[in-house]
Amino acid sequence: MANPSLAAIDVGTTKVCTIVAEVGAQRELRILGVGVGPSAGLSKGMVDNIHAAIDAIASSVERAERASGTRILSAHVGIAGPHVSSINSRGIVAIADPRNPITDHDVHRALESARIVNVPNNREVIHVVPRYYVVDGQDHVVDPLGMYGSRLDVETHVVTSSTSAMNNLVQCVEGAGVKVESLVLEPLASGEAVVDREELQQGVALVDIGGGTTDICVYMNGAVVHTAVLPIGGLHMTRDLVVALRVPQPAAERAKRDHGHAIPSLVDEAEEVEVEAFGSEPKRQVRRRLIAEVLQARTEEMLELVLAEIRRGTEPEMLSAGVVLTGGAASLPGIDMLAEEVLSLPARIGRPRHLAGLSDILHDPAYATSVGLLRWALKEQAILFRSVHGPIAPLGSLMRRVAHLMRVVLPQ
């Protein structure tokens, strides 16, 4: 029998990436095909032109189908944008008969009770992520299944989204002929792809700087404590270069990618580079250090906003493992050094790892979200379909419905 396969679509502000992967016996991912194309109809991570977005998604899906030789009927899809918000909430349930071990059903009841937070009727809950459990006062239980107790508490991270932004995204993906299997908050996905277990345990912040958004996920003691999506990204850096260098947007984008640096003092003061310009002279020489100065100013400002957001989750000093930077802008040389300076934390660039198959393009920080969507979906399925007394059950229609009702995973 063929291995089961999974598909994910990362609908970003600058690119759409679709990945099809096969899931091996050890739950390892073998990439069958990737389809990447320019994005359209999105601003700050949100759909603002449905028709343009449908075309961009359809073309990325078609490329992934051609590359993998498969037909993509459904996919796990990333959601981001400043409309997303999160809070931590506690759920409490009584165990009917404390002589019996705690079951999946008890855990689900506890999660359901945590989910009952005050959500206005124009918002939807998209995740109830368990952080840890408490069984009869015993704190920080990672997995309560099979334990005995009369009361089960769960500390969760609840993520909500604007209903209309969510519907627009679903409509675009379904308009491109793909059913949405689940929506996954992008910072949670990125973390799944690049943050390792030890970092999660010691405290770490994942910062994904994309084109239109900067996604943040803060982890402490192996669990999520805070998530946020800021409406800032690489497009702002490019726009600053348009103004400072007085060049067209595509030329500013090329100058950033080919000659950019986040630390001006590391760029030779005398070095000049050629850029395409407006007006009668088609090419102009600009000092490379000037490009770096513009990028440093904007990146520093963005990192300061990131720091303020991290503070909403925890004291930054508590993050012993520091920050992991992903997203396309993490490829800016020197950005890790600048992050260390602004955040006063160790920083590294996160690249998706442990992928087999046609995965060459994916070992890049810009693909952390796309790969993470697959990893998140895999983890979610394993949790939902396991049984205390037996092996993982096959994907039945009832469980599928449960999966849609409540998207849960266990903390690491």
- Dist CA 120 CA 387 (whole Å): 35
- Are 184 and 76 in contact by the 8 Å Cβ rule? The answer is yes
C-beta of 335: minimal distance to ligand ATP in Å?
A: 8
Closest to ligand ATP by CB, 29 or 169:
169
**Residues composing the chain:** 412
C-beta of 51: minimal distance to ligand ATP in Å?
A: 19
Residue linked to tokens 């991270």? 157
Measure Cα distances from 383 to 25, 108, 335, 412 in Å: 16, 11, 36, 12
C-beta of 141: minimal distance to ligand ATP in Å?
A: 35
C-beta of 14: minimal distance to Mg ion in Å?
A: 8
Element (DSSP H or E) covering residue 243: helix 234-245
Contacts with Mg ion, 41-80, as mask; x by CB under 5 A:
----------------------------------------
Site for Mg ion (CB under 5 A): which residue of 210, 231, 234, 322?
A: 210
- The answer to whether residue 369 forms part of the interface with Mg ion (CB under 5 A) is yes
C-beta of 322: minimal distance to ligand ATP in Å?
A: 20
Closest to Mg ion by CB, 188 or 245:
188
From first CA to last CA, the distance across the chain in angstroms is 31
DSSP for residue 208: E
Return the exposure string of 153-185: e unless at least 16 CB atoms fall within 10 Å of the residue's CB, then b. Answer: bbbbbbbbbbeebbebbbebbeebebebbbbbb
Give the side-chain half-sphere CA count within 13 A for 353: 7
Who contacts 239 (Cβ-Cβ below 8 Å, separation ≥6)? 249, 252
Closest to Mg ion by CB, 33 or 210:
210
268 CB neighbour count, 10 Å cutoff: 9
Site residues for ligand ATP per CB under 6 A: 12-15, 39, 45, 80, 210-213, 233-235, 238, 253, 256-257, 260, 327-329, 331-332, 366
Q: Which does 289 bind (CB under 5 to 8 A by kind): Mg ion, ligand ATP, none?
A: none
Closest to ligand ATP by CB, 102 or 207:
207
Closest to ligand ATP by CB, 101 or 333:
333
C-beta of 116: minimal distance to ligand ATP in Å?
A: 31
Closest to ligand ATP by CB, 144 or 234:
234
- The answer to whether residue 231 forms part of the interface with Mg ion (CB under 5 A) is no
- The answer to whether residue 233 forms part of the interface with Mg ion (CB under 5 A) is no
Positions that interact with Mg ion (CB under 5 A): 12, 210, 369
